[in-house]
Amino acid sequence: MEATLLTNLIAAVVFAALGIFTLFATFVVADLLTPYELWKEIVEKHNVALAILVGAFALGMSIIIAAAIH
């Protein structure tokens, strides 16, 4: 069976949704494991160090998820 453009597009959307969901789920788990609320610390208290840490965490998880899907 030949892969058509529509089949490839559907597969890309499904994998993208799966990757986004997995990244969101890992962020929620990280938020639950920390003794403070990440969003409140970053947005309201302007904790730059924590923002850099969360950004690095998100980038690292994105690379892992992309490698797993690929």
- The confidence score (pLDDT) of residue 1 equals 59
- The confidence score (pLDDT) of residue 63 equals 92
Hey, CA dihedral for 31, 32, 37, 39, is it positive or negative? positive
Question: Are the CB atoms for 58 and 27 separated by under 8 Å?
Answer: yes
- The confidence score (pLDDT) of residue 68 equals 85
Q: From first to last of its 70 residues, what are the pLDDT tens digits of the chain?
A: 577 988 989 988 999 999 899 989 988 998 899 898 888 999 999 999 999 999 999 999 989 988 887 7
Number of domains in the chain: 1
Locate 37 and state its tokens: 């609320």
Report the C-alpha gap between 48 and 59 in whole angstroms. Answer: 16
Locate 32 and state its tokens: 């639950």
Give the number of C-alpha atoms closer than 13 A to the C-alpha of residue 54, restricted to the C-beta side. 22
